[in-house]
Amino acid sequence: MHSKNDWFILGAGAIGSLWAVSLKESGQACYAITKSCARDKYAEKQFTLKENREKITVPIQCVSADQIDHPIYKLIVSVKANDAVEAIKSIKYALEENATVILLMNGMGFQHEIHKLLKDQHIWTGSTTDGAWKEAPFSVNRAGRGITWLGHTKKIPAKNPLPFIPRLDVALCDDIDMKVWYKCAINGIINGLTALYQCKNGGLLSCNQRRQRLKRLADECTSLLRKKAVPVTENLFEMSLSVIKKTANNFSSTLQDAMKGKPTELQWINGFLINEAKSLGMQLYAHEELMIELHSMNIY
Ligand code: KPL
């Protein structure tokens, strides 16, 4: 039986699978909307999560976007930035008015399209420092436990839309836009370099040259944020070092995509930062250099 409390997770990548397992483990009804279940409507798949030395497996029903046969009241969107708008369009027919939608995606510059699509829904933005990578379909490895900030897009003081989920650290936040800027900057500092050096996050601290590149990227982000009047209360370089240390054993999402030969999200991360800077008459040399190097390796 389906209910208004059922959670649907759109996109079973690393973060989507982590959330699906965590919700299910805490007793919530949860479905994954994935491409890989095209023929098998609501087929049960065993989702596995590895965290530290623990390994848990929970059954989760999967459905493809065109086969949802009951209204969605609670949706978590964890697809790639490149696919976000199309993925939401594909399930919109099943989405209730006033549904709760939580966006959990890296990058910036595409959210306004989603807001246009979801005028009747309550949109929450999530920004996470969790580090997770997909080992195989339906199998995720959580390499670093982070925190997920959640803010209502219209900044209305609303009740936390999530139940208590012991495995996830979720906190409400009044200024989610600032967190999203910070997250985009942190990803812009870390992710492209891991793809360039083909290393886990921790590998970025292996020599001075890499640290210097991190510092240059961070300094440019700080200048851009200041120019955008985003309060820079924290040192972005120090923040990225701390994220790197906490997720040292993780393959960044960008490196995961690059290793699979898939398009990365960098156009919504560094690409977005570079364009924002340009529109303000600034140039982010270190970010531009990095993108050119990555393009010469066929990483887009
Ligand atoms: O968000 C990440 C990503 O890989 O996209 C970090 C925090 C860098 C963890 O790997």
Digit-coded pLDDT (tens) for 83-94: 999 999 999 999
Distance set, CA 136 to CA 17, 62, 250 (Å) = 11, 16, 15
Q: Which amino acid is at 73?
A: Y
What spacing in Å lies between the alpha carbon of 136 and ligand 1's midpoint?
A: 18
Ligand 1 atom with minimal separation from the 255 CA: 4
pLDDT at res. 42: 87
Q: What is the pLDDT of residue 155?
A: 77
Q: What is the percent of the chain with per-residue pLDDT over 70, rounded to a whole number?
A: 99
Mean pLDDT to the nearest integer, 127-137: 93
Question: What does the pLDDT average to over 90-105?
Answer: 97
Q: Ligand 1: does its nearest atom lie under 6 Å from the Cβ of 256? A: no
Atom 4 (ligand 1) nearest CA:
252
Does 192 sit in the ligand 1 pocket, CB within 6 Å?
Answer: no
Band of residue 35 on the pLDDT scale cut at 50, 70, 90: confident
Q: What is this structure's pTM?
A: 0.94
- Taking the CA of residue 183 as centre, how many other CA atoms within 13 Å lie in the half-sphere pointing to its CB? 24
Name the band, by pLDDT with cuts 50, 70 and 90, for residue 123: very high
pLDDT digits over 157-176, tens only?
778 999 999 999 999 999 99
Among 73-82, 147-156, 184-193, 272-281, the range scoring the smallest mean pLDDT is 147-156
Q: Among 148, 149, 193, 201, which is best to mutate for testing ligand 1, by the most ligand atoms less than 8 A from CB?
A: 201
How many angstroms is it from 159 CA to the middle of ligand 1?
28
Q: What is the mean pLDDT of residues 181-197?
A: 98
Instruction: Pick from 182, 253, 264 the residue to mutate for probing ligand 1's pocket: most ligand atoms within 8 Å of its CB.
Output: 253
pLDDT in tens, 231-269: 998 999 999 999 999 999 999 999 999 999 999 999 999
- Distance in angstroms (rounded) separating the CA atoms of residues 177 and 152: 10
> Does ligand 1 have an atom closer than 6 angstroms to the CB of 190?
yes
If you measure from the C-alpha of residue 151 to the centroid of ligand 1, how many angstroms do you get, rounded to a whole number? 20
125 Cβ inside 6 Å of ligand 1: no
Write down the pLDDT at residue 128: 94
For the cut 80, the answer to whether the pLDDT of residue 40 exceeds it is no
